């Protein structure tokens, strides 16, 4: 099964495609898409949408896992992340890909076993679980892989969206 994890954002959107065969996990492709803050938001969203759409057409993942919107103190950031999530959900729907969402707590518990794990612990475990030679950078990439791993480890996969 091919699982695409997405860490949504408008400046940086992390992606991580993994393959699950039985209990084995393998990283297929991962990285991040960046947009310039000089561009107006509609153009940033268009760039991200087009990159995601091309990725989905190239790899045809069976499911897409995305981080649930977490509202922090910065409302502007939360709105931008919500807009990025919107294009992710749209691209998945247009390609008939099931979407599952996970909270940051669920991702940390699935990957590290501890809901208050920090970024370094997540990166360490992502590297170990996927047998990577280097730690995925930036954080957004490691987070996207962690979201995909969380879905792969989910015992009961409830439809998130």
Active site amino acids: 7, 67, 140
At 93, list the tokens. Answer: 């729907």
What pairing do the DSSP bridges indicate for beta strands 12-21 and 2-7? antiparallel
Q: How many CA atoms lie within 13 A of 78 on its CB side?
A: 8
- The answer to whether 6 touches 67, Cβ cutoff 8 Å, is yes
5 exposure class (CB count in 10 Å sphere: 0-12, 13-18, 19+):
buried
The Cα-based distances of 53 to 46, 49, 67, 136, 137 in angstroms read 10, 6, 18, 22, 22
């Amino acid at each position: 099964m091919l699982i695409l994890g997405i860490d949504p954002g408008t400046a940086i959107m992390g992606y991580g495609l993994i393959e699950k065969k039985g209990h084995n996990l393998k990283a297929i492709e991962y990285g991040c898409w960046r947009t310039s803050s000089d561009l107006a938001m509609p153009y940033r969203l268009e760039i991200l949408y087009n990159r995601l759409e091309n990725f989905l057409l190239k790899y045809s993942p069976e499911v897409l896992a995305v981080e649930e919107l977490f509202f922090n103190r910065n409302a502007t950031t939360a709105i931008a992340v919500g807009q990025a999530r919107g294009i992710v959900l749209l691209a998945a729907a247009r390609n008939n890909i099931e979407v599952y969402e996970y909270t940051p707590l669920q991702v940390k518990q699935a990957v590290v076993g501890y809901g208050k794990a920090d970024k370094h612990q997540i990166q360490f475990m992502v590297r170990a679980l996927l047998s990577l030679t280097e730690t995925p950078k930036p954080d957004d990439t490691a987070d996207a892989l962690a979201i995909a791993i969380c879905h792969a480890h989910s015992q009961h996969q409830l439809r998130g969206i």
